[in-house]
Structures are given as C-alpha cells and as structure tokens.
C-alpha cells in the first residue's frame, strides 16, 4: 500500500468527504483543511466509520495566507493537493458576487503560492460544467469554447482554470481539472451524503427534504425551456463515481502519466434528464409522492447540458457506473438516516 500524503481542501464537504473515503481505500494518507463555513467537522467521524481511519484535520480559511503557510511548515512531504474548497451556490453567487470572487479566487491563489514556496507540484482542481455556459452543441466536450457564464460562480471556475493554465507555463506545476456535471447521491453506507446547511440550493436535497416533510413543497424553476417537458436538463452523476475519478487523477499525476502539464476532463454520465423526469424517477424508487409546484425560471440556470465523456473514459480509464435510480435511492437512504446521525 502506498502512503502518499494528499491534502484535501474542503474535505468536510459533500464531494470532498466521499473522495477521502476512496483515497483511503487506495492507501493514501489524507489531511484535510476546511473552514467549516458550509459543513461540519463531524463528517470526518462518519468517514472513520466507513474507512476505519479519521484523517488529520485543520480548521481555517484558505483566504488566510499566514495560516496556510503555517500549515505547510507543519505538514511537510505533501505529494499532491485536491482543491475542493469553494463557495458553490449559483443563486447566492448572483446575489453576492463579490463574496464569490474574493473567496474562490483568493483561496486558489494562496494555495498556488504555497505550492510554489513549499515545492508541491501536483494539484487536482474541482471545476464544473458551468464553465461551458449554455453550449452550442450537445453532448459538450472538453474542446467546447467557454461561453459567457450564467453566474458569478461559473465565472470563478472559468477564472480558476485560466489561472491554472497560465501558471503551468511558467512553473513545474502539473494540474488536472475535473469538470463535474451534477453530482448527486450518497455513499452506500448512508453514513455520508449531501448535507446542506440551511435551505438547499441543489435539486436532489430539495426533493428528499420535501419527501421527508422538512420542506412543504418543491419548486421547479421553469417549464418553458426548449426541452421535452419544458424543465431544465442536467447530467446527474453519482458522487462516488466522481470521488473515484479524483483518485484516478491523483494516481495519474503521481505516476507522471499526464500528457500535458494542464489537463481537463469532463465527469458525467453522458445522459441528460429533465428536472421532471428526475422527480418522477425519485417517486418510483422511494414510493413517495412529491408535492411540487412549477414556478418561474431561476437566474443563472442553463437550459440543458450533458457531457461527452469519451476523453475521461479513454485517457483516465474511468467511467461513471451508477444509474439515476441508484443515485436517487442512495440519496433517499441518506436522507432517511440523517435525522438519527447527529453530525456536528
């Protein structure tokens, strides 16, 4: 078993926590930094229940440069970084763009400065299909032009990718950017999952909370899009499939198998489902009837997007394995268990 040391920023978050489990399963030593702005430290106790190992944890904000440098002075011999830490709510970014630009750009710049200073050369970056805006052709491949983003959140991901692709030119940095489509679902153990603090911004927690009676009704934003039933189309992908792709990307960098200093891969299933199809599939797998209401479109939402996954399938040897039914049933199992979990 290898004992490469991997720093996971934003590791108590949704995708971060699932990725830690997969890294540990492959024998990596994981260290976590998180500000706990949108998550709980208790998630790492849940990780330990799954993997048997609780990762070492540091709580601070990556925008605090001195705290970050202190961390790297203490934690030496880090082989690679997976950078998840970012604010990620599309709607909130429209309402508070400065918060998003400050947090998402400054944290990345501080991490890159520290990597240069402490001679760490490998980073996997958590990007998003929002960088494509509304693509001209579907499925969307990595070669598609970046369009004007629909939200400041999407713009921070575009800017981050630009920074990373510029920095590799003048340094020995090696980067893999993973552009996820729409991560949903939860770990099969139902010990970790998507855990929004306050009102959820993403569809599936809204669905599961409505089914539980936590929310009175589910709002469907728009039924007048140019799609088969008028609701938005998304490429939903299981969070465990996404987590496994991060492990493959880390191994690619550590084994020097990357073909360029800066590489980009789409992470999706290649299939798009409408919001209404997703609701109906959830009703089928959960045997719950959802109280939903059609309302007006939401600012920042793209009409339809789904991935061309050929590059990731061929280059990384990775493929999403789980279907929509499995994604939604694991999300529902997690929601059912959540009331008893007392995660703090």
Strands 233-234 and 273-274: antiparallel
35, 59 Cβ separation under 8 angstroms? yes
Nearest to residue 61, comparing CAs of 85, 90, 31?
Answer: 85
Q: Provide the 3-class DSSP secondary structure of residue 304.
A: strand
**225 belongs to the catalytic site:** no
Q: Report helix, strand or coil for 132.
A: helix
Note whether 177 and 262 are within 8 A (CB): yes
Of the candidates 14, 100, 132, 153, the residue annotated as catalytic is: 153
Helix (H), strand (E) at residue 153: helix 152-167
- 294: exposed, middle or buried (C-beta count within 10 Å: 0-12, 13-18, 19+)? middle
Query: How do 218-221 and 29-34 pair as beta strands?
Result: unpaired
Phi, psi of 128 (to 5 degrees): -155, 155
DSSP classification of residue 128: E
Residues sharing a CB contact under 8 Å with residue 316, sequence separation 6 or more, in sequence order: 245, 248, 249, 252, 265
Catalytic residues: 153
């Amino acid at each position: 078993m290898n004992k490469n040391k991997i720093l996971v920023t934003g590791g108590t978050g949704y995708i971060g926590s699932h990725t830690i489990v997969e890294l540990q399963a492959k024998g990596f030593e994981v260290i976590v930094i998180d500000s706990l702005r949108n998550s709980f430290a208790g998630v790492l106790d849940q990780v330990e229940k799954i993997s048997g190992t609780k990762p070492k944890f540091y709580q601070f904000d990556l925008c605090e440069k001195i705290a970050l440098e202190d961390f790297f002075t203490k934690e030496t011999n880090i082989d690679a970084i997976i950078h998840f830490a970012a604010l990620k709510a599309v709607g909130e970014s429209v309402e508070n763009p400065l918060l998003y630009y400050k947090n998402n750009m400054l944290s990345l710049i501080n991490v890159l400065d520290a990597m240069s200073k402490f001679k760490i050369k490998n980073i996997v970056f958590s990007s998003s299909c929002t960088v494509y805006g509304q693509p001209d052709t579907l499925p969307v491949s990595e070669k598609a032009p970046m369009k004007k983003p629909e939200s400041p959140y999407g713009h921070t991901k575009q800017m981050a990718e630009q920074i990373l692709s510029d920095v590799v030119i003048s340094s020995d940095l090696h980067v893999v950017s993973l552009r996820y489509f729409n991560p949903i679902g939860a770990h099969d153990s139902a010990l970790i999952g998507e855990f929004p603090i306050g009102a959820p911004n993403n569809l599936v927690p809204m669905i599961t909370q409505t089914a539980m009676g936590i929310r009175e009704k589910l709002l469907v934003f728009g039924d007048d899009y140019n799609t088969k039933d008028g609701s938005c189309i998304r490429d939903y992908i299981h969070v465990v499939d996404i987590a496994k792709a991060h492990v493959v990307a880390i191994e690619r960098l550590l084994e020097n198998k990357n073909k360029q200093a800066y590489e980009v891969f789409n992470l999706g299933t290649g299939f798009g489902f409408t919001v209404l199809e997703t609701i109906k599939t959830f009703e089928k797998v959960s045997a719950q009837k959802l109280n939903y209401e059609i309302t007006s479109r939401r600012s920042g939402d793209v009409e339809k997007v789904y991935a061309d996954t050929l590059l990731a399938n061929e280059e990384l040897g990775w493929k999403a394995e789980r279907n929509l039914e499995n994604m939604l049933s694991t999300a529902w199992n997690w929601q059912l268990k959540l009331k008893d979990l007392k995660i703090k």
